[in-house]
Amino acid sequence: MWVDRMRWSRVDDPRVAALPVDGHLRLVLNGHVLRLVRTQAGLFALEDRCPHQGRSFEGGWCEEGRLVCPWHRFAFDPASGRALHGSTVNVGTHPVEQRQDGIYIGFPYVTFRLFGLDLW
């Protein structure tokens, strides 16, 4: 049977610990280009690609807890990836966990389980 799983990867970037509230930064982890955003509600990971035209959020800013794209000023909720005004599709997000040994970001995948073992 097909099973949804999550692979967790530790973030080994010292910039994340120093990221202020309403700050964001670009991070490449396991081949994924991400945008980490810190708001009053916590730390969030989004795909670093505005769904409107596929450009990076580099040069954007946070406003009222939303990540704003610098190209067309579309705003996105970092927790859900939802567009503020529904003017475009949503941004992909990844779960973030704070553990004793650091910050981890989850990457979903699907595997096949046979006799209680995941095949990949």
Query: In the predicted model, is pLDDT for residue 9 greater than 70?
Result: yes
Torsion, CA 52, CA 73, CA 35, CA 55, rounded to 10: 40
Residue predicted with more confidence, 118 or 28: 28
62-55-32 Cα angle (round to 5):
85
Q: How far apart are CA 6 and CA 84, in angstroms?
A: 28
pLDDT given for residue 87 in this prediction: 65
Segment 94-105 shows an average pLDDT of 96
CATH code: domain 2-118 is 2.102.10.10
